[in-house]
């Protein structure tokens, strides 16, 4: 099969490099022509978990050009960049599939505006990656991947998706197909709405959230508010999910959240698709979320000020 990875950030570079190393036919589509040119000239340098530095040569083009004709398009861009990608997806073959890897919620509805439901698949993953330069990516943590159709209770595995699962498995990804991807989206959202904005506001690594009673108290209130919204949306969220969030902070204690990395690099943060989603969903369902709303507005303000100063 042929795969196009759209996005030259940490996840896009890592996935493209790992798939290419094990023989998959991968093309990389970047946001800028400059990055595409640098990748074509130098390749991607993959820094593995074991300290190896492996050059991987991948064909790259920019999104300004026509998308390559492939079987699967993996959207490895931020929620904030989806609007620049959607017009290009209107011209892909009806037999092609699109796999969206975004954090947060709401991207499925935007994809449905330009694609049929049968074409759209969502991915939830916990893989750790950090892009150091436009062509250098570090694999910082082993995670798991779950993939599912936006059509609920789809148990039959589509051929394109099945081929990708095989290729990803060969590349060393822990990956599976699930019949209800939204359960996994909500679970990840519960962690993101707590960890990402607070590490961004305080500019600290994930583990430092657990080192003071004050941050733990804020985390707990934010979790309970998000839980109320999730339950009202028909999701089952339990105390185990709270313990999972604490364990994530421990397991990634030295990692900086993607939202904090975006803030420090002057990029728009994904706050609207994460905390903004909880706040707006709460309003629709009549569930109050004052702590979520306060943190959401504070993060928006901080990001705006950082961009102005930059």
> How many domains does the structure of the chain reveal?
2
Residues 196 and 170 in one domain: no
**182/99 Cα distance (integer angstroms):** 14
**Angle at the Cα of 103 from the Cα atoms of 309 and 303, rounded to 5 degrees:** 15
pLDDT tens for 265-302 read 888 999 999 999 999 999 999 999 999 999 999 999 99
User: What pLDDT is recorded for position 76?
Assistant: 97
User: Do both 31 and 175 map to the same domain?
Assistant: yes
Q: Is residue 154 very low, low, confident or very high in pLDDT (cuts 50, 70, 90)?
A: confident
pLDDT reported for residue 115: 97
Please confirm, yes or no, whether 227 is among the known catalytic residues.
no
Which of 179, 201, 235 delimits the end of a domain?
A: 179
The runs of H, that is alpha helices, within 10-106 are 10-21, 33-42, 82-89
What pLDDT is recorded for position 307?
A: 56
Catalytic residue among 112, 188, 288, 297, which?
A: 188
Q: Compute the average pLDDT of residues 66-83.
A: 95
Average pLDDT, the chain: 95
| Same domain, residue pair 174 and 187 | no
Work out the pLDDT band at 310, boundaries 50, 70, 90: low
Q: Are residues 123 and 272 in the same domain?
A: no
d(CA 154, CA 170): 24
Task: For residues 158 and 279, state if they share a domain.
Answer: no
Q: CA 108 to CA 199: how far, in whole Å?
A: 26
The per-residue pLDDT for 251 is: 86
Summarize the confidence of residues 99-111 as an average pLDDT: 95
Q: Is the pLDDT of residue 53 over 90?
A: yes
Predicted local distance difference test score (pLDDT) of residue 245: 96
Residue 169 shares a structural domain with residue 187? no
Q: What are phi and psi of 149, to 5 degrees?
A: -75, 155
DSSP string, 4-30: EEE--SHHHHHHHHHHHHTT-EEEEEE
CATH number of the domain within which 133 lies: 3.40.50.720
pLDDT of residue 50: 93
Left, alpha or beta for 188 (phi > 0: left; psi -120 to 50: alpha)?
Answer: alpha
Q: Does 84 share its domain with 158?
A: yes
Cβ count near 96 (within 10 Å): 18
Measured CA to CA, the distance from residue 53 to residue 137 in angstroms comes to 10
Q: Rounded CA gap, 179 and 149, in Å?
A: 7
> Residue 209 in contact with residue 199, Cβ under 8 Å?
yes
Q: Are residues 251 and 301 in the same domain?
A: yes
Residue 252 has pLDDT above 60, yes or no: yes
Band of the pLDDT at 170, cuts 50, 70, 90?
A: very high
Residue pair 256/282 in contact (Cβ under 8 Å)? The answer is no
Instruction: For residues 219 and 273, state if they share a domain.
Output: yes
Range of the domain at 59: 2-179
Query: What percentage of the chain has pLDDT greater than the value 90?
Result: 88
Reported as type and span, the H/E element at residue 144 is strand 144-149
| Average pLDDT for 117-140 | 94
Confidence band, pLDDT 50/70/90 cuts, at residue 309? low
Of 157, 179, 201, the residue that ends a domain is 179
Q: Residues 148, 242: one domain?
A: no
Task: Compute the distance between CA of residue 89 and CA of residue 66 in angstroms, rounded to an integer.
Answer: 10
Residue 140: predicted pLDDT: 87
Q: Tokens in use for 66?
A: 């026509």
The whole-angstrom separation of Cα 76 and Cα 8 is: 8
Q: CA-CA distance, 216 to 203, in Å (whole number)?
A: 16
Asked if 123 and 104 count as a contact pair (C-beta separation under 8 A), the reply is no
Residue 286 sits in the same domain as residue 254: yes
Domain boundary, last residue among 133, 160, 179:
179
CATH number at residue 261: 1.10.1040.10
The pLDDT, as a whole number, for residue 143 is 87
Residue 13 to residue 277: CA distance in whole angstroms: 28
Mean pLDDT of 213-229: 98
134 lies in the same domain as 220: no
Instruction: Please write the tens of the pLDDT for every residue from 3-42.
Output: 999 999 999 999 999 999 999 999 999 999 999 999 999 9
**Could you tell me the pLDDT band of residue 153, with boundaries at 50, 70 and 90?**
confident
């Amino acid at each position: 099969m042929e795969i196009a990875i759209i996005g030259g950030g940490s996840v896009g570079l890592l996935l493209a490099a790992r798939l290419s190393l094990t023989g998959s036919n991968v093309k990389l589509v970047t946001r800028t022509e400059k990055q595409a040119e640098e990748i074509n000239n130098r390749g991607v340098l993959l820094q593995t978990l074991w300290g190896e530095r492996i050059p991987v040569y991948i064909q790259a083009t920019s999104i300004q050009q026509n998308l390559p004709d492939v079987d699967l398009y993996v959207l490895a861009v931020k929620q904030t960049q989806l609007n620049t990608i959607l017009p290009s997806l209107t011209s892909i073959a009806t037999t092609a599939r699109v796999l969206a890897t975004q954090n947060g919620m709401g991207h499925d509805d935007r994809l449905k505006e330009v694609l049929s439901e049968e074409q759209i698949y969502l991915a939830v993953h916990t893989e750790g990656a950090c892009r150091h330069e436009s062509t250098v990516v570090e694999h910082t943590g082993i995670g798991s991947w779950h993939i599912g159709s936006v059509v609920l209770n789809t148990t039959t595995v589509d051929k394109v998706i099945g081929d990708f699962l095989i290729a990803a498995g060969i590349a060393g990804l822990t990956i599976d197909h699930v019949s209800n991807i939204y359960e996994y989206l909500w679970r990840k959202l519960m962690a993101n709405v707590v960890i990402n904005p607070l590490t961004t506001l305080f500019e600290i690594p994930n583990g430092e959230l657990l080192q003071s009673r004050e941050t733990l108290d804020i985390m707990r209130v934010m979790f309970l508010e998000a839980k109320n919204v999730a339950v009202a949306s028909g999701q089952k969220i339990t105390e185990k999910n709270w313990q999972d969030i604490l364990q994530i902070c421990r397991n990634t204690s030295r990692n900086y959240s993607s939202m904090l990395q975006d803030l420090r690099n002057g990029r728009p943060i994904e706050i609207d698709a994460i905390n903004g989603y909880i706040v707006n969903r709460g309003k629709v369902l009549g569930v109050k979320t004052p702590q979520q709303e306060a943190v959401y507005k504070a993060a928006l303000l901080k990001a705006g000020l950082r961009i102005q100063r930059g």
